[in-house]
Structure 1
Amino acid sequence: MEAKRQLPNVLVTGTPGTGKSTTCEQIAEATRLRHVNVGDLVRSQDLHCGWDEEYSCHIIDEDKICDALEDQMNRGGNIVDYHGCDFFPERWFDLVIVLQTDNTVLYERLEKRGYPQKKLSENVECEIMHVIVQEALESYREEIVQVLPSNTVEDLESNVERTVQWYKQVTCHVR
């Protein structure tokens, strides 16, 4: 953990549909971490440069996102929820969790969300190719990256408990 921060920052990333938001909400409830849903932040603060009709999503402005989060991340105590990870500064995070989901489960989750077929297929392909895992390992120190399964309620509970235990361990000197 960076010396000036008393509380850690955690990034939870993964392909859309892997359970990032639910995982972050539960971790935030069990810790003192603030849940930062980057997608919500982009929409509420207009941190984008338009709308992509083909994928039905905003075209994010990575610089605006980083500028908007800089002070908060420097203070610590955040759990950041976003499907991308390679544009955030490495210094921000003490733990990076990459959630992975079985392709069949992921397909069904994205289909329920009403994703257009092209967007659905590309996200499942992204998961098959471990794109987010590769991004995380290339962007952050390997020892802080944890790749966790996120297929079932039991996986969710295990991931939350594991992260809460990590949090307690790294913050025990603060209390």
Structure 2
Amino acid sequence: MARREIPNLIVCGTPGTGKTSLAHKLASQSGLKHIDLSKYAVEHNLVDGWDEVLNCAVLDEDKVVDHLESCLPDGGYILDYHGCDFFPQELIDTVVVLRTENSVLYDRLKARGYPEAKISNNMECEIFQTILDEARESYEEDIIMELSSNTPEEQDANAEKLVSWIADWKNDKLKK
């Protein structure tokens, strides 16, 4: 693992689980920099086309990693994206996987105006815990945090837990 004084986190999960809201809140409370990878990839032309079915840009994961590789070793970033498995473990200190109950997730996706095909795809992803499984296959179990994200209160509690985790992580690094 890299010798950095500030950790890098990935906040991931099915669309609609509250990744961006949590990442914004966490960035404002911790001082870490938030990068919404979907927007970042489009802004920096790190995409590999457009998915007509899901109505979103397709990230070129290799380009994204290459583009961020120069800053991530120093730490201090919250990466926000639905997937996580394409970042090398040596650049990531914790992977936060947000999970949301099906009825809550459905309502959130419907409120966003997603077409039924996209809602169905995302619901299946959450039901089959696809993102959590990707995290478990790509990273050591001890850096993965699975957090429930159904209510604003849970989101606040998640932010508090992560701010505390960041402080503990920094203190542990100072002791070494």
| CA deviation string 1:29-55 (max 9, x = no partner) | 111210011011011111112112221
Q: Measure the CA separation in 2 of the matches of 1:171 and 1:74.
A: 15
**In structure 2, the residue corresponding to 1:71 is in which secondary structure?**
coil
Shift, 1:90, TM fit: 1.1
Please name the residue that 1:2 is paired with.
Answer: 2
User: Corresponding residue for 2:135?
Assistant: 136
Q: How far off is 1:2 after superposition?
A: 2.3
Q: Determine the structure 2 residue equivalent to 1:111.
A: 110
What's the counterpart of residue 95 of structure 1? 94
For 1:123, the equivalent position in structure 2 comes to 122
Give the counterpart letter for 1:109 in structure 2. R
Q: How big is the alpha-carbon RMSD for the aligned residues of Structure 1 and Structure 2?
A: 1.3
1:1-175 equivalences in 2 (<5 Å):
2-3=2-3, 5-172=4-171, 174=174
Name the CA distance, whole Å, in 2 between partners of 1:29 and 1:6: 19
Which ranges of structure 2 fall in alignment gaps of 5 or more residues? none
Distance 1:109 1:90 in 2: 31
Deviation string for 1:19-74 (max 9, x for gaps)?
00010111111112100110110111111121122211112111111111111111
> How far apart are 1:14 and its partner, in Å?
0.3
Amino acid at match of 2:110: E
Paired residue total: 174
Please identify runs of 4+ aligned residues in structure 1 that moved more than 3 A: none
Deviation at 1:119, TM superposition (A): 0.9
Displacement of 1:144 in angstroms is: 0.7
TM-score normalized by the length of structure 2: 0.95
Following the alignment from structure 1 to structure 2, what is the Cα–Cα distance between the partners of residues 16 and 131? 12
| 1:2 partner letter | A
